[in-house]
Structure 1
Amino acid sequence: MLQKTNRLTLVEQVALQMESLIESGKWVVGMRIPAEPKLMTELNVSRNTLREAIRALIHAGLLKTKQGDGTYVCSSSVLGVVLQKRILHSDTLQTLEVRHALEREGAHLAAQRRTSDEANELLLQLERCEAAAALGDIDGFVTEDIRLHQSIVAASHNEILIELYDHIAEAAQDSITSLTRYEVGADFLEMHRQLVEAIVDQDADRAVAAVHRYIAESQAVLDVKGGKQP
């Protein structure tokens, strides 16, 4: 027997509208959301209804309040929140294994689907990575390295893969930073150059092989850090 449809409360409707603003990119991560009076006018709701909706999104992990400053967007989707919480309870090796799966498929598809503009942007982004490494700027390198991998996955033109990878990269940044402090060297940079050049050349097999190489190098670094090797 069919169940009677439950109607959303006004608070739930407002929360969904605000969530839509976040997921659509109109409210980006790090942005302070508009003040209460403006939101009350735009959404045509009372102060109490608005505050309840905001509390619901804070509880969901999409918003956070800074005392005396305002309310800020802290994640771009509920999926991102879930992944962040999961990664916090996972070790670096498991995170690396997930990155391997996503980056491998991203590289494979990017080599087949990248546009000429995307190929040029990948080469420019690679140069930014190399410049940061040459300066010994580890934090800068991590930022540019994440952007490089996000650009590669974006060139796959698979929207689900892009969204998953963006959330993984955002959630795993601390572990990536920790690992990168040990592994940035000429060989590691050369593997990334090989990856980008394979995608530019539209050689999917060579691109996948490059991903395998730098992930294997990262796993070897983890083994050394963990005392598994002499």
Structure 2
Amino acid sequence: MTPLIKRSLVEQAVDQLRARIAEGAWSVGQRLPTEPELASDLGISRNTVREAMRVLAFSGLVEIRQGDGSYLRTAVDPLQAVQAMSRCAVEHARETRHILEAEAIGLAALRRTEADLQALREALHHSEQHFHGDVDTYVACDLVFHQRLVDAAHNPALSELYRYFSSVVGAALQHNMTTVPRCQVVFDLHGQILDALEQRDPQRAKHLSRTLIES
């Protein structure tokens, strides 16, 4: 990689990393080089590398595992699909969540495993710790919880669709949390959805999910 000199350093780092992925530098599922290694290759700071990796994770190319590193999720760049989703109207995004997320959660109530429930409890605990704190941190935690809800349906197609669509969910959530006072009652709906999954009650799970989407 050549040192970056023009445009935003983050933008250039993202472009170079996308190019290396397209060229097959890493295989799907492979752990990517560490931040110091990438920073040395690109001739930039670790902070810039970290921001670039967040962009790639947001677009679905990379999965960042806390404390473990970053892994290549797919070699097919979903950027165009994500960009198209990000331009959709608020009402269209809400309709899509009702169709995709609420129905997936209904399936999750029927198909969830004990491992799914444990992962959801952990994600909800992390969200609760940050609900009254930094917005970006909370949104990241909340998206993990919602993704795990959809993953508990054990339908890979639904999981992948929601993973791409979650960028729209995250943007809407971030906007709401910076313009409307945070409401504990709304957050508590997450725990109630988890309870419905534990009780294998798909109708209640879907109802609570729709209530949360409209909140």
Same fold (TM over 0.5): yes
* Aligned residues between the structures: 171
- Residue aligning to 1:123: 121
Unaligned 5+ segments in structure 1 are 1-13, 37-65, 218-230
Unaligned 5+ segments in structure 2 are 1-19, 62-73
- Residue aligning to 1:104: 102
- 1:135-179 Cα offsets, whole Å, 9 max, x none, are 433222211110000111111110011111111113553333112
- Residue aligning to 1:137: 134
Alignment of 1:6-21 (within 5 A): 18=24, 21=27
- Residue aligning to 1:206: 204
Cα distance in 2 for residues equivalent to 1:107 and 1:79: 27
Report how far residue 17 of structure 1 moved: 6.4
Contact 2:86 2:167 in 1 (8 A): no
Q: Which SS does the other structure have where 2:133 is aligned?
A: coil
Give the residue type in structure 2 aligned to 1:175.
A
Q: Which SS does the other structure have where 1:161 is aligned?
A: helix
Cα distance in 2 for residues equivalent to 1:19 and 1:103: 34
- Residue aligning to 2:191: 193
Report how far residue 84 of structure 1 moved: 1.6
Q: Which SS does the other structure have where 1:139 is aligned?
A: helix
The one of 149, 172, 175 equivalent to 2:172 is 175
- Residue aligning to 1:26: 30
Contact 2:109 2:205 in 1 (8 A): yes
The one of 137, 141, 151 equivalent to 1:154 is 151
- Residue aligning to 1:83: 81
Cα distance in 2 for residues equivalent to 1:89 and 1:216: 20
Cα distance in 2 for residues equivalent to 1:159 and 1:105: 14
Give the residue type in structure 1 aligned to 2:145.
L
> TM-score scaled by structure 1?
0.62
Report how far residue 211 of structure 1 moved: 0.7
Q: Which SS does the other structure have where 2:78 is aligned?
A: helix
> TM-score scaled by structure 2?
0.66
Cα distance in 2 for residues equivalent to 1:98 and 1:20: 33
Report how far residue 20 of structure 1 moved: 7.8
Give the residue type in structure 2 aligned to 1:170.
S
Cα distance in 2 for residues equivalent to 1:183 and 1:209: 24
The higher radius of gyration belongs to: 1
Cα distance in 2 for residues equivalent to 1:79 and 1:17: 12
* RMSD (CA atoms): 3.2
Contact 1:83 1:171 in 2 (8 A): no
Report how far residue 214 of structure 1 moved: 1.0
Q: CA separation of 1:197/1:138 partners in 2, compared to 1, >3 Å: closer, same or farther? A: same
Report how far residue 189 of structure 1 moved: 1.1
Identity %: 24
Cα distance in 2 for residues equivalent to 1:16 and 1:131: 38
Q: CA separation of 1:83/1:194 partners in 2, compared to 1, >3 Å: closer, same or farther? A: same
